[in-house]
Amino acid sequence: MDLIRLGRNEIKRNWTRTGVALAATALAAWMLVVSHMIPRGYPWGVGQAERAFIGGDLVVLPLSSRVESRNGANLTVKPWEGRDWQSHALYYFHRLSQEGYISEGSLGWRAFDPREVMDLIKDVPGVTRVEPYVSLPCLVGSVQAILRARDALDAESFPLSMARFIVEGEYPGPAAGSGMEALFPNFGGLEYNLVGSSVPVRVPRLVVNPAPSSKDPARLVGGAFGLGLDWDNGASVVLEVSGKYRVNTNQVLEPDATALPEFPAPGEEARFWDRPEVFVTKETFQEILAQTQAAVDLNQLPTYELLISVDRMSEAKAIASGIQEKLGEGFQVCPVPELKKLQVSGSALRFQGLDAGGLLQVQGFMLSGVIVAGSSYIMLVQQKRKIGLLRVIGATGKDVVVYVLTIVGYVAAAGAAIGFLAAKVLSLWSLLASEITAAEWIKLTFIDFISVFGMSLGISLALGTAVGLWAARVPSAEVLKRE
């Protein structure tokens, strides 16, 4: 149609203004695409050992307030009542054992019935698996360790697999006959237990009492329990070493990893990696629990921690927020820390996702839309005579709006295409440098394409419509004005 051609010609004729509008749109498109190259949340990466060892992407802890406040002087410090075997809380709040935790009137560190909490969490979008952390303290000979119930995950799939950290033997399979297998640490004084050997292990009897640690336990999700250990009436079992695992702390956790608040301070050792956990299957754990004649079975066992897997690590923060909202005060949801390295010119850079990334992207397109529509408006103010002429020779208001939207649409689409292509060329580098597959890259490209052109055209055309409506009201008598 001629009006479209006319619009295209106007774009070429007003090249300076068109150039500014193109640049703004291209920049917005570029920002959107490039922002997707920056890892958001806690993506798969070098720290898979942490998640493999913990067994989840997110951890839910029954802590009602943070202990890492810089304003510690105002906090009421309580004695630390928890124990290492109870959860990974010390990993996230590593000063807990020295400084206790806060605060007066808070719910405190407590065990809880996982079933009610799991019911609340399972419907949160993005959650694929919720599992309680089940453990008991134990003595392997005279060495203190933690007996942990955890089945081999389906297919031992990356990244939660322990397989890559097993230095010898294999993960315990289902119990056969009376034999009970366990995966032993190859550190923490337990190195001497050889694969295939039988190791005597002493497990205490777990005493479970509804022990409200808050003033109003009825308000607590999952209730509150007091857990006691009766070593005198525990059980001695013999575990067969099916395999040994070892984690090289320095391989994963670097001193400057303190960029995340949950990480240990520089120079401090991460306690997590010192936890000697002896892994047995749930079936074996249940059997041991029965031998201690504890009054609970595995399904009723109160826990101090839930382990959650999510379908997309890039959404981990959002999912964590969703879970936190469901659980309310009294729990803390912590994404398992993991940083991603990107090599740029030989130096390692770390990226943190922008929580406001989406908002910034929309704002970028809003700004570019304003510039596109604004430059079109200026263009049209100088063309009132031409618009008047179009009206004189029969163009309706609708025709004029189409004319304006042609100008705006072409600039927005061209700008989006330039920015999109430029960023995508750049992102080829991220394809080579990251773990992303070609299929995922293509999928992301498609999503970027829809996002870029959708936002660019949508916002620009919406604003351009306002300009078009203005232009449609330009009186046709403008054409009679003498130059």
Partner 1 sequence: MDEPILRTVNLKKSFHLGQTIYAVNDVNLVVDRGEFIVLMGPSGSGKSTLLGLLGGLDRPQSGDVILDGQRYSQLSESGLARIRRNKVGFVFQFFNLIAHFTALENVMLPMRFGGMSKKAMTERARELLVQVGLGQRQDHKPLELSGGEQQRVAIARALANQPAIVLADEPTGNLDSKTSSEIGEIFHRLNVERGQTFVVVSHDPSITRWAHRVVEMLDGRITRVYDGGMAREG
Interface residues toward partner 1, by CB under 8 A:
1-2, 5-6, 9, 13, 385-386, 388-389, 391-397, 399, 475-477, 479-480, 482-483
Q: By CB neighbour count within 10 A (0-12 exposed, 13-18 middle, 19+ buried), where does 178 fall? A: exposed
200 backbone φψ class: left, alpha, beta (φ>0; ψ -120 to 50): beta
- Give the E-state strand segments of 262-377 in sequence order: 277-280, 306-310, 332-335, 341-344, 347-350
For residue 438, CA distances in Å to 43, 425, 428, 432 come to: 17, 14, 10, 9
Smallest gap from Cβ 321 to partner 1, in A, equals 52
CB of 343 to partner 1, least distance (A): 51
Nearer to partner 1, 63 or 379 (CB): 379
Distances (CA, A) of 477 to 388, 404, 436, 471, 472: 6, 19, 61, 13, 13
Residue 8 CB, nearest distance to partner 1 (Å)?
Answer: 9
Strand partners, 127: 310
Nearer to partner 1, 262 or 399 (CB): 399
Q: Which is nearer to partner 1, 153 or 479 (CB)?
A: 479
Cβ nearer to partner 1, comparing 321 with 465: 465
Beta strands in 214-257 (DSSP E): 225-245
CB of 467 to partner 1, least distance (A): 18
Between 212 and 397, CB nearer to partner 1? 397
Residue 231 CA to residue 229 CA, distance in Å, equals 6
Q: Where are the alpha helices (DSSP H) in 266-350?
A: 282-291, 316-327
For the CA atoms of 270, 272, 273, 276, the dihedral, rounded to the nearest 10 degrees, stands at: 140
Report in angstroms how near the CB of residue 384 gets to partner 1 at its nearest. 12
Instruction: Supply the DSSP string of 79-98, one letter for each residue.
Output: -----GGG-SHHHHSTTHHH
CA-to-CA distance for 31 and 132, rounded, in angstroms?
41
Selection from 94, 175, 142, 112 nearest residue 276 by Cα: 142
Tokens of 222: 């999952």
Judged by CB, which is closer to partner 1: 9, or 251?
9
Nearer to partner 1, 104 or 483 (CB): 483
Q: What is the nearest approach in angstroms of partner 1 to the Cβ of residue 319?
A: 53
Give min distance, CB of 36 to partner 1, in A: 40
Contact (CB, 8 A) for 191 and 184: no
Quote the least distance from Cβ 389 to partner 1, whole Å: 5
Q: How far is the CB of 407 from partner 1 (least distance, A)?
A: 13
By beta-carbon proximity to partner 1, the closer residue of 340 and 391 is 391
Q: Least separation, in Å, of the C-beta of 472 and partner 1?
A: 9
Nearer Cβ to partner 1 (11/306): 11
Structure-token pair, residue 217: 């336990």
State which residue, 4 or 362, has the beta carbon closest to partner 1: 4
**Are 227 and 207 within 8 A, CB to CB?**
yes
127, 323 Cβ separation under 8 angstroms: yes
